[in-house]
Amino acid sequence: MQPSEAPAAHPALPDFKPETIRGAAGYFRVGQTRAGEWWFIDPRDEAFFSCGVNAVTHNGGTRAEGAEPADAVATARVRLNAWRINSLGVGSGADLCDRGTADIALVEFAKVAPETLIKGPGARVPDVFAPRWIEACDRAAAERCGARALSRDLIGYCTDDELGWAQPSHEGDADGIGAIRAGWPTLLQICLSLEPSFPAYHAAWEFTLAAHGGELANLARAWGADLPNKQTLRQLTMAEQGLVSAGYLRDQERFAREFARRYFAVTAAAIRRHDPHHLVLGCRFAGGPGAAILAECAWPGVDVLSVNPGGESLWAGVEVVHGAQGMPVLVGEFGWTGEAFTGAARADEPRGQTTVERMLARGRAALERGFTHPALVGYAWPQWADRSGDRPPFGGGLLHVDDREAREHTELLADLNTRATALRLEANLHPKP
């Protein structure tokens, strides 16, 4: 910034394009400024960038005896403030919510009717055609969303966490994250091979045969496959041999879009039936889930697209999913303790760095760059406390298991969180060509 140049102004409600604002006045909303940036809008009508951490508990890493609950909650809040964390991510304790800190809730609709869950290599989704699942979604939303419908601290609900959509590998993002292994069966083939007790089995066959004159022989020719009967296809699926012809992939894309459309429509309707005030934050994709799924993950079924991109290219991960439908993006978890940050030194990095120094330098660069993406509305550190197998300084928590602060992470994280909004505003003032 030049010395004579005024800093970019923090967006106010008149700076937002009215047609882009989603949510209810007086609660957290989301909208796009006239300059093109997406922000959460808090209940006071001020722009809000979410710097969060997941799985916050009042008793840190020990989960054992110690301070009285009231004192422990106060200690957790002091730590959150010290690290400039302004929101509680998914999995945080109910005793910390509705105490003046923004939070995000997780409903987990895929688990509400376990007998309807479709599972397999790369697949973990509910049977969206099952009336039992749809009814269970409504009951779950009544219980989990209805109770918080008037909360001024709640930002919104993630519907599920890292579902497996079993999409073709070539539809994944640049690193293949979120797509299945090449050659594995994809969603349509998996549904066609289910037991007949699954409504998705009947829906898939009706959907597919309708496009081929109702004849399996026509279908086999179009797919270039030897399918004398339905059992043959099931045997291929059990052997993890996926169909990959152009004809099959065209039908797979059409079916995947219908499947995703139903998922997002049912879950959003259930939430809004019992809580019309809060945002729907999507299903926390693990990287790019595939073009067909992203095409249906859009407003009004979803207000904000949530993704856990992983790796060092945070900005690129946001760009992949935002590019599909121009959606605002919430990064559900981002940390710098993985192999992408601790791996061997590259030629463009300073010589002589320790692994910890390299980890922190890469983490700083990834977040500083990521903060400037105009679609990003927030992110969360993956976990509040180390897990039992974590080894400092490469543990994933902000607290160690003995409740000591993980200063190797918190000092840098506090600095980055403090500057997050300024970095976004500065990027808007001086956009890159």
The arithmetic mean of pLDDT across residues 348-362, rounded, is: 95
Which stretch of 19-33, 282-296, 325-339 has the lowest confidence by average pLDDT?
282-296
Q: What type of residue sits at position 407?
A: R
How confident is the prediction for the chain on average, in pLDDT? Answer: 91
The arithmetic mean of pLDDT across residues 261-278, rounded, is: 98
Return the structure tokens found at 264: 């997002």
Which stretch of 8-12, 264-268, 290-294, 423-427 has the lowest confidence by average pLDDT?
8-12
> Tell me, which fold does domain 13-183+251-429 have in CATH?
TIM Barrel (3.20.20)
Res. 63: pLDDT tops 70? no
Res. 247: pLDDT tops 90? yes
Predicted confidence at residue 172, as pLDDT, reads 40
193 contacts 205 by C-beta, under 8 angstroms:
no
Return the structure tokens found at 103: 């939070």
Res. 178: pLDDT tops 80? no
Q: Percent of the chain, pLDDT > 70?
A: 92
Res. 316: pLDDT tops 70? yes
Q: Which residues contact 92 (CB under 8 A, 6 or more apart)?
A: 54, 55, 56, 57, 103, 384
Q: What does the pLDDT look like over 396-433, one tens digit per residue?
A: 999 998 899 999 999 999 999 999 999 999 987 665 54
- Residue boundaries of the structural domains of the chain: 13-183+251-429
3-class secondary structure per residue, the chain = CCCCCCCCCCCEHHHECHHHCECCCCCCEEEEECCCCEEEECCCCEEECEEEECCCCCCCCCCCCCCCHHHHHHHHHHHHHHCCCCEECCCCCHHHCCCCCEEEEECCHHHCCHHHEEEECCEEEECCCCHHHHHHHHHHHHHHCHHHCCCCCEEEEECCCCCEECCCHHHCCCCCCCCCCCCCCCHHHHHHCCCCCCHHHHHHHHHHHHCCCCCHHHHHHHHCCCCCCHHHHHHHHHCCCCCCCHHHHHHHHHHHHHHHHHHHHHHHHHHHHHCCCCEECCCCECCCCCHHHHHHCCCCCCCCEEECCCCCCHHHHHHHHHHHHCCCEEECCCCCCCHHHHCCCCCCCCCCCCHHHHHHHHHHHHHHHHHCCCCEEEEEECCCECCCCCCCCCCCCCECCCCCECHHHHHHHHHHHHHHHHHHHHHHHCCCC
Q: Which residues contact 228 (CB under 8 A, 6 or more apart)?
A: 220
The arithmetic mean of pLDDT across residues 352-361, rounded, is: 95
The arithmetic mean of pLDDT across residues 208-237, rounded, is: 95
Predicted confidence at residue 431, as pLDDT, reads 57
Q: What does the pLDDT look like over 97-132, one tens digit per residue?
A: 999 999 999 999 999 999 999 998 899 999 999 999
The arithmetic mean of pLDDT across residues 61-83, rounded, is: 74
Predicted confidence at residue 200, as pLDDT, reads 98
Q: Which residue has the higher pLDDT, 306 or 432?
A: 306
Predicted confidence at residue 433, as pLDDT, reads 46
Return the structure tokens found at 215: 């004849």
Predicted confidence at residue 179, as pLDDT, reads 55
Predicted confidence at residue 6, as pLDDT, reads 59
Which stretch of 46-60, 199-213, 324-338 has the lowest confidence by average pLDDT?
46-60
Q: What does the pLDDT look like over 375-387, one tens digit per residue?
A: 999 999 999 999 9
Predicted confidence at residue 432, as pLDDT, reads 55
The side-by-side arrangement of strands in the sheet containing 38-41 is 29-32, 38-41, 47-48
Predicted confidence at residue 134, as pLDDT, reads 98
Give the position of tokens 């106060």.
74
Q: What does the pLDDT look like over 139-168, one tens digit per residue?
A: 999 999 999 999 999 999 999 999 999 999
Tell me how far apart the alpha carbons of residues 60 and 398 are, in angstroms, rounded to a whole number.
9
